Amino acid sequence: MKIVQTFGFFVAIAFLAAAYVLTSELRRREKLGWLAPVQETIVTGKPASLGDMLVSAVIGFIIGFKILGMFGAGTEDLRSYFLSGQGSVIGGILVAAAMAYWKYYTKKKAALPKPKEEKVNVWPHQRVPDFTIMAAVAGLIGAKIFHNLENWGEFVADPWGSLFSASGLTFYGGLIVAAYVIIRYAHKKQINWKHLVDSAAPALMLAYAVGRMGCQFSGDGDWGINNSAYGTNPTGKVEVISEAQYQDVLHRDSAYFTRHFGSLEQVPHKRFEKPASLSFLPDFFFAYSYPHNVVNDGMPLQGCEGEYCNALPVGVYPTPLYEIIVCGLFFIVLMAIRSRVTIPGVIFGIYLILNGIERFFVEKIRVNTKYDIFGFHPTQAEIIATLLVIGGAGLIWYARKTKPVQKTA
């Protein structure tokens, strides 16, 4: 049984890396006096309530039902198992009871004859766990919603599969929904939103680069158009082919290409063979067949048996790889300038511009649904990327107009 799914693993790493960078940046701004704590009242010494124990029991049942049930599930697909009704009822009951009792015991041990109220200062960096959970939940929901809106035909054909597949996430959808939820929470907790988004800018850029590693290594379908200079051999490795050979592949696998693009004439492609001056770069930098991809797209691989045994018949531009490199460099740039830019809101404006420009241009070689708007045919990502650049420029203008430069020490 597969315990770790590649895409999910990198998504988790992206959240952890972003949380670390965000915490560090919030701490830096707190030391500079740009962010202040908020005093809150907490009650200590209370025994466990019925609600506390019920919550622990529900969490325990889910854990016991699924985790202990894995040992008797007899499946190689962990994702399908967790989305099914399979599990161990006895295991769920046992873990639920254990966790409910543990909550009762620990609360009783710490209980006081008379619970007392305490005033504590809560700093913005201490709320990063809350931000992370909100970003994970709201971001994944938003990413799924926007992906399914962009690929409406696929969603209508298989709503359940589209909603619960391991792939199919739109970063901008996650960014928009998560940003809305987090900024509302920050306002409620009296955290300056400009400093918060500035602190989040490098973290978001890093998270995007790491998340794209999941796309690249898992092959989640978010790749570029065909590079007609490279075909795929039966083992999944790309090889240089002529234009005539590319046409032969199109006709040989016409059913595949027609299913995806409607007709052979509509298959998007750009021919670009690795130049001699870049011979030190591997072929997969220019074209990749995504063998064993998680969406099972392409043609069967020779000698492979199991769930993930397909590779694309023609090499495609590995756009996730390009974004890993570019966004990794942008992360370094943002980290380098963050201490020099002292007007709150400007760093996030720069982030929006950089991210929008990068995504707009990578869309030129990516496979995506296009819209017909007054004779123009942009993708959803191109539209949002353009709005991000405009929004970033507007935010910089607004920040510079409404806030003077702050002290740096």
pLDDT tens profile 177-199: 888 899 999 999 999 999 999 99
**Pair (128, 211) in one structural domain:** yes
Split at pLDDT 50, 70, 90, the class of 158 is low
Residue 42 lies in a domain: no
Same domain, 139 and 20: yes
**Domain shared by 17 and 127, yes or no:** yes
- Clarify whether residues 138 and 111 are in a common domain: no
Where does residue 395 rank: exposed (0-12), middle (13-18), buried (19+ CB within 10 A)? buried
Q: What is the pLDDT of residues 253-263, one digit of tens each?
A: 999 999 988 89
Q: Is residue 409 part of a domain?
A: no
Residue 373 and residue 288 share a domain? no
Give the count of domains, the chain: 3
Residue 231 falls within a domain, yes or no? yes
Q: Is residue 302 domain-resident?
A: yes
Q: What contacts 355, CB < 8 A, 6 or more positions away?
A: 204, 205, 208, 327, 330, 385, 388
Do residue 133 and residue 178 come from a single domain? yes
Sign of the four-CA dihedral 339, 340, 345, 347: negative
Q: Confidence class of residue 385 from pLDDT cuts 50, 70 and 90?
A: confident
State the pLDDT confidence band at 381, using cuts at 50, 70 and 90: confident
Residue with the bigger pLDDT between 34 and 2: it is 34
- How far, in Å, CA of 178 to CA of 80, rounded? 27
**Whole-number pLDDT of residue 402:** 87
- Judge if 191 and 328 occupy the same domain: yes
Banded model confidence at residue 156, pLDDT cuts 50, 70, 90: low
Residues 211 and 341 reside in one and the same domain: yes
**pLDDT score, position 409:** 42
Residue that is last in its domain, among 317, 348, 367: 317
Residues 207, 231, single domain; the answer is: no
Return the pLDDT at 106. Answer: 93
Q: Are 100 and 129 in contact (CB under 8 A)?
A: no
Would you say residue 43 lies in a domain? no
Structural domain range at position 264: 226-317
Task: Verify that 170 and 240 share a domain, yes or no.
Answer: no
pLDDT digits over 274-316, tens only? 999 999 999 999 999 999 998 889 999 998 988 889 999 999 9
Please give the Cα distance from 267 to 45 (Å, whole number): 67
d(CA 318, CA 279): 17
Same domain, yes or no, for 30 and 133?
Answer: yes
Torsions phi, psi for 276 (to 5 deg)? -60, -30
Does residue 408 belong to any structural domain of this protein?
no
pLDDT cut 90: percent of the chain above it: 57
Percent of the chain at pLDDT > 70 equals: 85
- End-of-domain residue from the set 119, 153, 178: 119
Summarised one tens digit per residue, pLDDT across range 26-77 is 999 999 999 999 998 888 888 888 999 999 999 999 888 877 776 665 544 5
Q: Is there a contact between 107 and 48 (Cβ–Cβ < 8 Å)? A: yes
Indicate the average pLDDT of the chain: 86
Same domain, 205 and 254: no
What are the tens digits of pLDDT across the range 70-124? 666 554 455 555 556 678 889 899 999 999 999 999 999 988 888 888 888 999 9
Q: How far is Cα of residue 147 from the mean position of the Cα atoms in its chain?
A: 12
Of 258, 290, 317, the domain-final residue: 317
Lowest mean pLDDT among 135-139, 377-381, 393-397: 377-381
Identity of the residue numbered 73: A
Quote the pLDDT of residue 11.
81
Q: Could you tell me which residues come within 8 angstroms of residue 311 by beta carbon, excluding any fewer than 6 positions away?
A: 232, 236, 289, 290, 291, 292, 293, 298, 299, 301
Q: Place 348 in a pLDDT band, splitting at 50, 70 and 90.
A: very high
| Residues, the chain | 409
Structure confidence at residue 80 (pLDDT): 58
**Would you say residue 173 lies in a domain?**
yes
> Which tens digit of pLDDT belongs to each residue from 310-333?
999 999 999 999 999 999 999 999
Residue 1 lies in a domain: no
C-beta of residue 364 within 8 angstroms of C-beta of residue 378? no
